[in-house]
């Protein structure tokens, strides 16, 4: 658990996030225009704000489900071991599925989840990540839709945490440690 004091510098405003979500929703609606039901799967915990705003822009027949995966705990480094803490409540065989993630960093989490869900034989399986850090990627993975590409900064806000703090910030901000002892 971090004890070092830090501040959060705003990086992406709530207004910019909302505008980007509106544009992405249009692309998703075109992709799934023929669906009789789209299962939108949020990856807890970090995606809870993004999925709430995204699904309200999707005038499609939507079912919402959640899967909890964790690989960072209260640190800034991926354990590279993705633990599934909570699985979906419904089956997805033959279903149209959109996995919603807050951020793709090393890529271990979302690539593991996509591999797991594809083994359940959905009709169509796509993913969207609000943020993507391509410079940090450790596995060959890219989401089907990306909100914003960002540099190698540790970010919080809009559902994203550092040691379970700052998920409730309305914007995306980057963490900056303030003590001179480091």
The yes-or-no answer on residue 96 being catalytic is no
Structure tokens at 120: 């359940």
Instruction: Determine if 132 is a binding residue for ligand PRP (CB under 6 A).
Output: no
Instruction: Determine if 104 is a binding residue for ligand PRP (CB under 6 A).
Output: yes
Q: How far is the CB of 9 from ligand PRP (least distance, A)?
A: 20
Instruction: Determine if 43 is a binding residue for ligand PRP (CB under 6 A).
Output: yes
Peptide bond into 45 cis (omega under 30): yes
Instruction: Determine if 128 is a binding residue for ligand HPA (CB under 6 A).
Output: no
Structure tokens at 146: 């990306």
Q: How far is the CB of 94 from ligand PRP (least distance, A)?
A: 26
Binding mask 64-103 for ligand PRP (x = CB under 6 A): ------xxx-----x----------------------xxx
CA distances from 119 to 4, 114, 122, 159 (A): 42, 9, 8, 28
Is the CB of residue 122 less than 8 Å from the CB of residue 113?
no
Binding mask 17-46 for Mg ion (x = CB under 5 A): -----------------------------x
Is the CB of residue 4 less than 8 Å from the CB of residue 40?
no
Q: Which residues contact 105 (CB under 8 A, 6 or more apart)?
A: 78, 133, 136, 137
Catalytic residue among 65, 105, 144, 152: 105
Q: What is the DSSP letter of 42?
A: E
Instruction: Determine if 154 is a binding residue for ligand HPA (CB under 6 A).
Output: yes
Residue 125: name the closest of 22, 38, 20, 25 by CA. Answer: 38
Catalytic residues: 105
* Binding footprint of ligand HPA on the chain (CB under 6 A): 72, 103, 105, 154-156, 160, 162
* Residues that bind Mg ion in the complex, under the rule CB under 5 A: 46
């Amino acid at each position: 658990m971090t004890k070092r004091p830090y501040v959060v510098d705003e990086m992406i405003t709530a207004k910019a996030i909302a505008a980007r979500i509106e544009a992405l929703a249009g692309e998703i609606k075109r992709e799934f225009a023929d669906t009789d039901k789209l299962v939108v799967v949020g990856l807890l915990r970090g995606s809870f704000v993004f999925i709430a705003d995204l699904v309200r822009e999707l005038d499609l027949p939507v079912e919402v489900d959640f899967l909890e995966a964790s690989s960072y705990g209260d640190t800034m480094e991926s354990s590279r071991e993705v633990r599934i803490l909570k699985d979906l409540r419904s089956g997805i065989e033959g279903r149209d599925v959109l996995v919603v993630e807050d951020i793709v960093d090393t890529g271990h989490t979302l690539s593991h989840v996509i591999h797991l869900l594809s083994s359940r034989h959905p009709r169509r399986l796509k993913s969207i990540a609000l943020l993507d850090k391509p410079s940090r990627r450790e596995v060959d993975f890219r989401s089907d839709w990306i909100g914003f590409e960002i540099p190698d900064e540790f970010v919080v806000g809009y559902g994203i945490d550092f040691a379970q703090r700052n998920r409730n910030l309305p914007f995306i901000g980057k963490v900056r440690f303030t003590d001179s002892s480091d």
